[in-house]
């Protein structure tokens, strides 16, 4: 595996899940594997879980992790090819990424979308500039269109809680939010859930259709109550409109899951990548109740990152 940016195939996903579960069982079993190696964690946007879990994962492998919060501490980066840099940007991405490529063995990058320039976002332009100019393996810490480390942790969490030998019904449901939110978590979750051969239903209000590239193989159901019938896992996430790019069409509070939504899915477990806006996206009673897996997902971020780093440095 050269880079880790997306779901590749089920065989690789299965190996990563197995490796993550092995590390969870014995986190420091490979403590010498990464000795002398460095990962540079470049954040162009805020983070709690991704930042801490990737650092811990690197430490568990004996690697050194250096975190740069470029949005706050670095030079303002210019992304446009051929730009005349006579305004606010100080350093071009092609110079910065090339330098970082000489400092590290692995680069890990978070680069959110603008939600304004659809073409640039859907091409994952900024994230791909780091791949193009660093010349070293790059791990996605969430790009404009995907969040594969989150999805790997989500698959590990489902694997831990599903009945062996039974294909689970997994529902990805849109939830209300007050801000325009990227599509990366929802895209990636759909890509990985279908790729891992789960029975995936996606439910959202009309107008919130995701990019079909990520939802192929899933059932789309606009009635949330119908979608939830018989669900084993319900993944809750907001995203802004994709077709009417980056827009908020509704904040209908009926889409926020409460216990009363689970009449026809009594055993369903509830997932969310966090951070979550309590009592906007998800009710306190669900988040703090028995069906919530959100803390387990967050914990599994460590072992997902550890499995990925371990395979990349192999």
> Annotated binding site, which residues?
47-50, 75, 110, 142, 147-150, 177, 237, 273-274, 277, 301
Q: 10 Å Cβ neighbour count for 45?
A: 15
Least distance in angstroms from the C-beta of 29 to ligand CP: 25
DSSP category for residue 234? E
Q: For ligand CP, which is the closer residue by CB, 17 or 228?
A: 17
58: tokens are 């690197």
Least distance in angstroms from the C-beta of 42 to ligand CP: 13
- Residue list 239-298, contact with ligand CP (CB under 6 A): 273-275
Least distance in angstroms from the C-beta of 142 to ligand CP: 6
Q: Does 151 bind ligand CP (CB under 6 A)?
A: no
State which residue has the least CB distance to ligand CP.
50
Q: 98-137 mask for ligand CP (x: CB under 6 A)?
A: ----------------------------------------
Nearest in space to 109 (alpha carbons), one of 75, 152, 144: 144
Please report where in the chains the tokens 């579960």 appear, as a residue.
21
Q: Does 47 bind ligand CP (CB under 6 A)?
A: yes
Among 50, 129, 134, 292, binds ligand CP (CB under 6 A): 50
Least distance in angstroms from the C-beta of 6 to ligand CP: 16
In angstroms, the Cα distances linking 72 to 46, 157, 274 are 9, 33, 22
Q: Does 92 bind ligand CP (CB under 6 A)?
A: no
Among 60, 140, 150, 173, binds ligand CP (CB under 6 A): 150
Angle at 172 between CA 112 and CA 208, to 5 degrees: 65
Alpha helices (H) in the chain, listed in sequence order: 10-25, 49-60, 93-103, 118-122, 125-134, 148-161, 184-195, 212-215, 224-228, 284-287, 294-313
Asked, as a colleague might, if the bond just before 259 is cis with ω within 30 of 0, I would say no
Q: Which residues bind ligand CP (CB under 6 A)?
A: 47-50, 142, 150, 273-275
């Amino acid at each position: 595996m050269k880079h880790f940016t997306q779901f590749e195939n089920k065989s690789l996903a299965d190996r990563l899940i197995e490796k993550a579960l092995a590390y969870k069982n014995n986190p420091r079993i490979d403590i010498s594997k990464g000795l002398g190696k460095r990962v540079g964690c470049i954040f162009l946007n805020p983070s709690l879980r991704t930042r801490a879990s990737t650092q811990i994962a690197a430490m568990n492998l004996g690697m050194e992790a250096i975190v740069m919060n470029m949005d706050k501490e670095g030079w303002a980066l210019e992304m446009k090819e051929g730009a005349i840099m006579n305004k606010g940007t100080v350093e071009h991405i092609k110079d910065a990424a090339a330098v970082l490529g000489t400092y590290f063995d692995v680069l890990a990058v978070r680069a959110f979308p603008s939600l304004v320039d659809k073409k640039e976002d859907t091409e994952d332009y900024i994230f791909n500039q780091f791949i193009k100019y660093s010349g070293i393996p790059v791990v996605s810490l969430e790009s404009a269109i995907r969040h594969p480390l989150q999805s790997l942790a989500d698959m590990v969490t489902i694997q831990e809680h599903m009945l062996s030998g039974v294909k689970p019904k997994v529902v990805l449901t849109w939830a209300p939010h007050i801000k325009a939110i990227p599509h990366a978590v929802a895209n990636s979750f759909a890509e990985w859930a279908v790729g891992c051969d789960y029975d995936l239903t996606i439910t959202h209000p009309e107008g919130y259709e995701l990019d079909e590239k990520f939802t192929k193989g899933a059932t789309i159901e606009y009635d949330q109550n119908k979608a939830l019938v018989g669900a084993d896992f319900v993944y809750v996430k907001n995203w802004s409109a994709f077709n009417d790019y980056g827009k908020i069409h509704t904040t209908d509070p009926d889409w926020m899951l409460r216990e009363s939504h689970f009449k026809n899915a009594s055993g369903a477990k509830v997932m969310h990548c966090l951070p979550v806006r309590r009592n906007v996206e998800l009710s306190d009673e669900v988040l703090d109740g028995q069906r919530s897996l959100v803390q387990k997902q967050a914990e599994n971020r460590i072992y997902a990152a550890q499995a990925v780093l371990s395979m990349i440095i192999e």
